[in-house]
Amino acid sequence: MTEEQAMKYLQDTLFVVGGKWKLPILRAIHSGNYRFRDIQRSVPLITTRVLSKELKHLEENKLVIRTVYHSPLAVEYKVSDYTLSLLPVIKEMILWGKNHREKIREK
């Protein structure tokens, strides 16, 4: 793998999980909020417009599965099994972020 390719993959990952809302949304769904309004309520301050867009993005990237049920009518969002593959990345990012806070507070 050339460094350029590596950079491309890096940017891809940032594109898929980056931004303000994608990971909080995944967390909300993962912890049991399957309905649009429930997700919205569990991701404080997000607007319907942004939530709608982000859910589409996550669905296009196969991280979220959208299912429509009839009688009773309902739309359900679930995280896919594929989302599990993100765990190592997320874990490392959390660890680094935590350590970084301490590092920055140092004088």
Residues lying near DNA in the complex (CB under 7 A) are found at: 19-21, 35-38, 45-50, 52, 55-56, 66, 71-75, 77
Total residues contacting its own copies (rule CB under 8 A)?
40
Residue 101 lies near its own copies (rule: CB under 8 A): yes
Q: Which of 18, 35, 48, 75 binds its own copies (CB under 8 A)?
A: 18
Residue 90 lies near its own copies (rule: CB under 8 A): yes
Residue 72 structure tokens: 């009773």
Q: Single out the residue of 42, 47, 85 nearest to residue 63, CA to CA.
A: 85
74 or 99: whose CB is closer to its own copies?
99
Single-letter residue type at 70: H
24 preceded by a cis bond (ω within 30 of 0) = no
> Looking at residue 78, what DSSP letter applies?
E
